[in-house]
């Protein structure tokens, strides 16, 4: 590893001059600059970011903790986060919490030890005290992504989950459905799932329809089948439309419904939440509430960097969602449009904070 000292020696200048050349922080005489440049080239010198970070108290790195990379929603968010960071010359440290609270805390602590200049996190619940304490105690700015803002917690980038779920409900009701139900991941382990439930249930109440049944399933979605059988067991009272708290779940539900001999959307309509890309290509293509995951990641990084740059970005950032209508929803008893499949441009939606 060649250091600034060797460069200085080679160029017959002091390390201070080399440093100044590197950061062009003060006038370095052209001739001196040339010597330094040559030395750097000759020795193939790359400044050591660790030494730099120690002195400047800035690592020029941001951290991000997400539940899992296997979910395209989070992968996209990381993608946007990385892009925003890179654009400003920052790098990214990333890790996953595997939907585990304990692991989540550990991850945050690890990244803070690395002195990241900002930390984005999808917490299981935004009101989880331990994590918030850790984050608040730190000098680095942080942002919760996908989580629900609360009066105490405004450092959030997300969509209005309740309003978005309401739009899903309205879509189904417009299609003529009256008996609705929701299948969701564990509510206790996800504040966003809870909000989606609230929004869905609330919208249905406002429309004067009977309260929907809500069923929780595991994240693994292994237990979708029995839940579905139980839910759809009695044809007389069977819901005709299902809202799923995320796209993976929706896809699993459609698969299970198929295997149960039900056809989507003829027998039952299904709406997802997330808007993952590949869900477009399914047969039936998935009707889903699209959240701008890339933008969520991007905005989170940007907000923290702005904050560090002395600005005071308005928080929380609530990004627009949209309802992408696919083939998985239709008026009861009708099949959706079939081949050739219509291209459904995302339909932007104004209903946001």
Which positions lie near its own copies, rule CB under 8 A?
Answer: 1, 44, 46-51, 53-54, 59, 61, 68-70, 72, 75-76, 78-79, 82, 86, 91-96, 109-115, 137, 139, 251-252, 254-255, 258-259, 261, 277-278, 281-283, 339-341
Partner whose binding site includes residue 29, from DNA, its own copies, none (CB under 5 to 8 Å by kind):
DNA
Shortest spacing between CB 111 and its own copies, in angstroms: 7
Extract the tokens encoding 280: 């477009």
State the residue for tokens 């909000």: 195
Using an 8 Å Cβ cutoff, are 162 and 199 in contact?
Answer: yes
The secondary structure of the chain in percent helix, strand, coil, rounded to multiples of 5, reads: 40, 15, 40
Using an 8 Å Cβ cutoff, are 325 and 349 in contact?
Answer: no
- Beta partners for 144? 121, 156
Shortest spacing between CB 167 and its own copies, in angstroms: 24
Shortest spacing between CB 141 and DNA, in angstroms: 18
Tell me the pairing of strands 287-290 and 241-244. unpaired
Partner whose binding site includes residue 44, from DNA, its own copies, none (CB under 5 to 8 Å by kind):
its own copies
Site for DNA in 26-45 (CB under 7 A): 26-29, 31-32, 45
Shortest spacing between CB 37 and DNA, in angstroms: 12
Q: Of 37, 41, 48, 259, which one interacts with DNA (CB under 7 A)?
A: 48
23-31, 127-135, 147-155, 222-230 -> range binding DNA (CB under 7 A): 23-31
Q: Of 24, 44, 55, 152, which one interacts with DNA (CB under 7 A)?
A: 55
Partner whose binding site includes residue 23, from its own copies, DNA, none (CB under 5 to 8 Å by kind):
DNA
8-16, 167-175, 177-185, 311-319 -> range binding DNA (CB under 7 A): 8-16
- Beta partners for 121? 65, 144
SS (H, E, C) 180-211: EEEEEECHHHCHHHHHHHHHHHHHHHHCCCCC
Shortest spacing between CB 218 and its own copies, in angstroms: 17
State which H helix or E strand residue 58 sits in: none
9 Cβ neighbours under 8 A, 6+ residues apart: none
Partner whose binding site includes residue 254, from DNA, its own copies, none (CB under 5 to 8 Å by kind):
its own copies
Tell me the pairing of strands 322-324 and 287-290. antiparallel
Using an 8 Å Cβ cutoff, are 126 and 191 in contact?
Answer: yes
Closest CA to 161 of 177, 141, 182: 182
Q: Of 24, 44, 50, 312, which one interacts with DNA (CB under 7 A)?
A: 50
- The residue ranges that bind DNA (CB under 7 A) are 1, 3-5, 12-20, 22-23, 25-29, 31-32, 45-48, 50-52, 54-57
């Amino acid at each position: 590893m060649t250091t600034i000292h060797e460069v200085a020696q080679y160029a017959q200048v002091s390390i201070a001059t080399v440093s100044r050349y590197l950061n062009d922080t003060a006038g370095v005489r052209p001739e001196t600059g040339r010597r330094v440049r040559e030395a750097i080239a000759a020795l193939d010198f790359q400044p050591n970011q660790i030494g730099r970070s120690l002195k400047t108290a800035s690592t020029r790195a941001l951290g991000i903790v997400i539940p899992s990379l296997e979910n395209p929603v989070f992968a996209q968010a990381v993608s946007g986060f990385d892009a925003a960071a890179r654009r400003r010359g920052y790098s990214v440290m990333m890790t996953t919490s595997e939907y585990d609270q304990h692991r989540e805390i550990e991850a945050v602590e690890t990244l803070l030890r690395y002195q990241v200049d900002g930390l984005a996190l999808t917490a299981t619940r935004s009101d989880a005290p331990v994590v918030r304490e850790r984050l608040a105690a730190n000098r680095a700015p942080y942002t919760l992504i996908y989580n629900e803002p609360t009066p105490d917690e405004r450092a959030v980038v997300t969509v209005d989950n309740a309003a978005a779920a309401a739009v899903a409900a309205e879509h189904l009701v417009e299609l003529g459905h009256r008996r609705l139900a929701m299948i969701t991941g564990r509510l206790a382990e996800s504040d966003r799932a809870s909000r989606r439930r609230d929004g869905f249930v609330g919208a249905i109440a406002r429309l004067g329809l009977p309260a929907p049944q809500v069923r929780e399933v595991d994240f693994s979605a292994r237990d979708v089948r029995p839940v579905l059988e139980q839910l759809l067991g009695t044809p007389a009272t069977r819901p005709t439309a299902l809202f799923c708290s995320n796209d993976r779940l929706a896809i699993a539900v459609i698969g299970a419904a198929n295997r149960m001999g039900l056809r989507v959307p003829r027998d039952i309509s299904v709406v997802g939440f997330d808007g993952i890309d590949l869900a477009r290509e399914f047969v039936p293509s998935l009707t889903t509430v699209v959240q701008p995951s890339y933008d969520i990641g991007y905005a989170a990084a940007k907000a923290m960097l702005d904050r560090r740059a002395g600005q005071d970005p308005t928080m929380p950032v609530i990004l627009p969602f949209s309802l992408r209508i696919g083939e998985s929803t239709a008026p009861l008893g009708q099949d959706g449009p079939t081949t050739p499949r219509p291209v459904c441009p995302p339909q932007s939606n104004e209903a946001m904070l």
